[in-house]
Amino acid sequence: MTPTSSGCVLVTVTGKDHPGITARLTGLLAEAGAELLDVEQVVVQGRLTLCLLVRLPDARGIPSALLFAARELGVDLDFQAVESPDASAPAKSAPARYVVTAVGRALGARELHALSSHLAGQGANLERIVRLTHTHLGSVELHVTLSDSVEPEALKRSLLALSMRDNTFDVALQRESLFRRSKRMVVMDMDSTLIRIEVIDELARAHGVGEQVSRITERAMHGEMDYDESLRQRVALLAGLDVAVLHQLAANLPLTEGAQTLVRVLRRLGYRTAVISGGFSVAAEALKARLGIDHAFSNVLEEEGGKLTGRTVGPIVNALRKAELLEQLAKEEGILLEQVIAVGDGANDLLMLERAGLGIAFRAKPRLREAADTSISAGGLDAILYLLGLTGRELEEAG
């Protein structure tokens, strides 16, 4: 090793991990009066990689002492002379830092190659990879920096296109900031998000008007009528349905994969949770009680003599109302909008997702996926926990 004039050396330590390696080597550096400028350590499958950037007052003798200690510790050392930053040089603006989270059933070499090569092609510099899942390689965080020439929104869209094309893993791009790991509230749609069904479709089938309701839904999806009118017409077809059918359905709602885990962990971590749904209150309140959700807002079906009247009571929970309720709830809870996550699957969730600090399209149509901050299609709702930066070990502790 030939030190530079600055005396800066990058010491790389590799080998089988065991207690005392870092303590022994840093102790030798301290005794020699070396200045520690940077440090990074990682253990993968019991194998240690430790990097120490040091400025040596006098290089003579120190490498030999470190090598001798390394032999006793059973590890290998590599020395590389490097230039230290010029403290007198004008400060450069730091590149924007982002976190790319990949979540799938299993992430292999093919998936990581596709993702890392895509990032490289887009001009993103990959600095660090962190495994999040514990028992298998199902989620990783890739910490990247973006130069001024890289537009984050364009990168987000390209990553979405990659995940839609691959269809085996989801990818989220988030700015590395104070708010990424300090979310405090999660707001969710109900039908086809928190549960696997559309309640109105099930009620319509039970009442023998399934085809009529489906036709109205189809017209609304094609923009031939607005959401409020479509809801009024569909609910009108439910007139005369025994309320017991609604309550029986609400008592046996099929939860979406990962829903129970998501809410349980969020509660343990002190998050506030809410359902804001264009569905019906009987179902939303049943879910609130079943999962321990803090708040539920939805449409109220009018009842008379044990039957549905075919009308709703109060304002319709449409797209605008959902966004307003999210803002109202965040204000009441004293939570910044940047600390709110909103999850939905349909067009009437778009405004709600836009108001939140992180909007997640869950198994949604392409239009909503493209508009949302990120999308989850390959995994369950519990994949959201990895977007918060939580690891598998932390989830086990919280569960």
Domains of the chain are 8-82 (3.30.70.260), 97-175 (3.30.70.260), 185-199+253-301+311-398 (3.40.50.1000)
Chain segment 229-238, per-residue pLDDT in tens: 999 999 999 9
326-340 pLDDT, tens digit per residue, is 999 999 999 999 999
Please check the confidence at residue 9 and state whether its pLDDT lies above 80.
yes
> Confidence band (pLDDT; 50, 70, 90) for 222?
low
**Once rounded to an integer, what is the mean pLDDT over residues 391-397?**
84
Mean pLDDT, the chain, integer = 90
The token pair that represents 111 in the structure block: 């998936």
What integer is the mean pLDDT of 61-79?
90
Confidence band of 219 (pLDDT split at 50, 70, 90): confident
User: Is the pLDDT score of 59 beyond 60?
Assistant: no
CA 173 – CA 138 distance, rounded (Å): 17
What is the arithmetic mean of pLDDT over 95-123?
Answer: 91
Residues that are catalytic? 189, 191
Cβ proximity of 169 and 111 under 8 Å: yes
Is the pLDDT score of 382 beyond 80? Answer: yes
Higher pLDDT, 217 or 324: 324
Question: How would residue 135 be classed by pLDDT, with cut points 50, 70 and 90?
Answer: confident
Please give the share of the chain, as a percent, with pLDDT higher than 90: 67
Phi, psi of 2 (to 5 degrees): -115, 110
pLDDT tens across 281-323, in order? 999 999 999 999 999 999 999 999 999 999 999 999 999 999 9
236-268 burial, b at 16+ Cβ within 10 Å, e below that, comes to bbbeebeeeebeebbeebebbebbebbbebbbe
* Pairing status of strand 185-188 against strand 272-280: parallel
Say whether pLDDT at 58 is over 70: no
Could you read off the pLDDT of 163-175 as tens digits, one per residue?
888 778 999 999 9
Window from 196-205, 259-268, 366-375 with minimum mean pLDDT: 366-375
> Residue 1: pLDDT above 90?
no
What is the percent of the chain where pLDDT is above 70? 94
pTM of the model: 0.84
Q: Which two tokens stand for residue 187?
A: 């707001």
- Cβ-Cβ contacts under 8 Å for 365 (sequence gap 6 or more): 345, 346, 347
Pair of tokens at residue 34: 């070396």
Question: What does the pLDDT average to over 232-261?
Answer: 96
**Long-range contacts, 80-83 (Cβ 8 Å, 24+):** 80/1, 80/9, 80/10, 80/12, 81/1, 81/2, 81/3, 81/4, 81/8, 81/9, 81/10, 82/4, 82/8, 82/9, 82/10, 82/53, 83/4, 83/6, 83/8
Residue with token string 């009308």: 311
